Copies of this chain bind each other. A is one copy, B any other.
Amino acid sequence: MLKFSDRAYYLPSSPIRKLAPYADAAKAAGKHVYHLNIGQPDIPTPPEFFDAFQKADVKVLAYSPSAGTTGLRNEIANYYDRLGYSLDIDQILVTTGASEAISFIVAAICNPGEEIIVPEPFYANYHAFAVASGAEVRTVSSTIENDFALPSIEAFKDQIHSKTRAIMICNPGNPTGVVYPREALQQLVQLAVENDLYLIADEVYREFVYDGAEHHSVLGIPGAESHVIVVDSISKRFSACGARIGCIISRNQQLLDVAMKMAQARLCPPAFGQIGAEAVYQLPQSFYDGIVAEYKARRDLVKAAVSEIDGAFCPEINGAFYAMVKLPVESTEHFCQWLLEEFDFDGATVMMAPGAGFYASRDRGLDEVRIAYVLNQTDLAAAMECLKQGLVAYQNREK
């Protein structure tokens, strides 16, 4: 019999995409589906992105250097410089999305059976990238009641043992929307240094912070230059998810050398995306201000809508464009599927990502959903009304 690897069985299915067949069926049946399940913004990709390719007038869409074009790496360095983080372009390795960046990092640092500590709930694909390298994710719990604040340093310490290789955070958080204060990051850096661990920070939502919250990159915490690895991406920042351009940033040259060997094996990141990315990294602060104001308004809308639903709870959200919301149902997995299969309100329904998929612990997140506020405010309001009406109908159905 033909065999598969062990990882073939352990690889999780995406919680964000697993309900897709039900959404397809709903659409085929004529329903409109509001997609709050996936972090795919509706914000237009800046025209500068597409214009750059016109201007480049490419005749042969050739391989780029494996580490990315010098032009793009320079613009990424300039962008970080404006944020107050000084980087040499050799400290920037362009990847095919943040996904590839995480894959490279895990493969570089973890042998099979070695572990990465991640606060849960966490971006579900971290688990898949760990499994691909045979590594394991060990979690420390954050809770919706506590606004998903970083767990105590003692909780992290309790999980460190001889097989631990790294701590990984997402800041601002997907799926939580949490923004970690500088003091919390300092404690993590200290813990990483004391225990010879890498501190991997996924900072792709860096700009999306609200209510005067300030984002602090781990790049700005002194004393851990070799330990810190940042994962970044243009997908959300510039609404260019399909470009598949991300990067690894580190001051650990040995780590970058290993990642470079992997980068050379896969030849190069997408050429078109790099040309566009080089252009949009030059956009002024006003570009970010406009986008952030829009997301803030959407967040306010989601929070207000949830507050009107009996038994629902939305924690404080200071960043990214997600809300983990507690709903008055036993199983959001069942409810989300039911919304697609059995429900409509004026011919529309809403798709969300069941919360359990973002937890590694079996019994957690069952009554939570992740809502990605990636629709314009009119559609978002309609989607939240759908959710509200759907909950009523679902509860009546249960009686």
Contacts and interface: CB of A to CB of B under 8 A. Distances in A.
Contacts of A74: none
Interface stretch (A56-64, A290-298, A339-347): A56-64
Contacts of A5: 107-111, 114, 133
Contact of A227 (B2, B255, B273): B2
Report, nearest first, the 5 A-B pairs whose CB atoms are least far apart: A242-B271, A128-B265, A270-B270, A14-B264, A99-B266
A104 to B, nearest CB: 9
B196 A3 contact: yes
B267 A270 contact: no
A216 to B, nearest CB: 22
A72 to B, nearest CB: 13
A131 to B, nearest CB: 9
Contact of A2 (B38, B66, B252): B252
B266 A4 contact: no
A244 B271 CA distance: 8
Contacts of A143: none
Interface string A96-134: 110110010001111110100000000001001100111
Nearest to A20: B65
B63 A261 contact: no
Nearest to A264: B14
Given A14-B264, A265-B128, A63 B241 contact: yes
A43 interface: yes
A13 interface: yes
Contacts of A92: none
Nearest to A15: B264
15 contacts: A2-B196, A2-B227, A5-B107, A5-B111, A13-B264, A14-B261, A50-B58, A61-B241, A97-B266, A99-B265, A128-B262, A243-B271, A244-B271, A270-B270, A272-B273
A252 B4 CA distance: 12
Interface in A216-265: 226-227, 239-244, 252, 254-255, 258, 261-262, 264-265
A142 interface: no
A139 B165 CA distance: 34
Contacts of A108: 4-5, 7-8
A277 to B, nearest CB: 11
Contacts of A243: 61, 270-272
Nearest to A99: B266
A49 interface: yes
Contacts of A266: 96-97, 99-100, 103, 125
B109 A112 contact: no
Contacts of A240: 61
A21 to B, nearest CB: 12
A268 interface: yes
B97 A267 contact: yes
A197 B17 CA distance: 32
A348 interface: no
Contacts of A103: 266
A397 to B, nearest CB: 31
Nearest to A240: B61
A29 interface: no
Interface in A257-311: 258, 261-262, 264-273, 276
A350 B114 CA distance: 45
Interface string A10-47: 01111001000000000000000000001011111100
Contacts of A268: 241-242, 244
A198 interface: yes
A60 B38 contact: no
Contacts of A63: 38, 40, 241-242
A8 B260 CA distance: 10
